[in-house]
């Protein structure tokens, strides 16, 4: 007998491969429901409103926060990001496996508000490899990469706060491990 689906939170430093792992996983298991966050950051090429994020203005984000519409939110490297509360609670209520891909500050807030959430940390094989991936992605200018590497040092130190650590050496392996943790396999 499997337990009722829990909320799973995937965190880890920028550039470690969270989006890549999640995209791979959902290609084979579209039944895993991934929360779409609101963010004040500008879209990267190819990112679509309502699919990758809800891209909102500062004023719209102020309103979401003031109205209590976010399950958690945080400022990360100069932009704000938050998880719309209602959609997550609806999916959990419907018994579907729910995944959040959020930063460390958000993961801490979820731990406070939802005691049975499962917190998964995605770690790089090494610091050098993390720098390589973040730089190699080619989506941020050097000063933004620096800010994200500063945040990464803090995030890596928080790894012991998580329930499970997965090392992203192979996207396929990590996606499989994550599915198993979510009771989808």
Which residues contact ligand ADP by CB under 6 A?
Answer: 14-20, 133, 136-137, 168-171
Q: Which residues are within 8 A (CB) of 181 and not within 5 positions of it... i.e. 6 or more apart?
A: 8, 118, 120, 164
Nearer to ligand 5GP, 77 or 182 (CB): 77
**Residues 108/11, Cβ–Cβ less than 8 Å:** no
Q: Which residues are within 8 A (CB) of 184 and not within 5 positions of it... i.e. 6 or more apart?
A: 29, 31, 32, 97
Is 15 a known ligand-binding residue? yes
**Residues 123/11, Cβ–Cβ less than 8 Å:** no
Q: Does 14 bind ligand 5GP (CB under 6 A)?
A: yes
Shortest distance in whole angstroms from residue 17 CB to ligand ADP: 3
Q: Does 37 bind ligand 5GP (CB under 6 A)?
A: yes
Nearer to ligand 5GP, 37 or 168 (CB): 37
Is 17 a known ligand-binding residue? yes
Known binding residues are 12-19
């Amino acid at each position: 007998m499997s337990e009722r689906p829990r909320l799973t939170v995937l965190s880890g430093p920028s550039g470690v491969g969270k989006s890549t792992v999640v995209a791979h996983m959902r290609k084979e298991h579209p039944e895993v429901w991934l929360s779409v966050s609101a963010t004040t950051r500008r879209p990267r090429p190819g990112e679509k409103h309502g699919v990758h994020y809800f891209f909102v203005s500062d004023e719209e984000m102020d309103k979401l926060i003031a109205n209590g519409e976010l399950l958690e939110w945080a400022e990360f490297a100069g932009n704000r990001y938050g998880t719309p509360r209602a959609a997550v609670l609806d999916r959990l209520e419907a018994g579907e496996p729910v995944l959040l891909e959020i930063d460390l500050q958000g993961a801490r807030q979820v731990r406070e508000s939802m005691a049975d959430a499962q917190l998964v940390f995605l770690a790089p094989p090494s610091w050098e490899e993390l720098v390589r991936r973040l730089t190699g992605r080619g989506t941020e200018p050097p000063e933004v990469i620096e800010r994200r590497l500063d945040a990464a040092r803090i995030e890596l130190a928080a790894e012991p706060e998580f329930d499970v650590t997965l090392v992203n050496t192979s996207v396929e392996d990590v996606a499989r491990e994550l599915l198993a943790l979510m009771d989808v396999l």
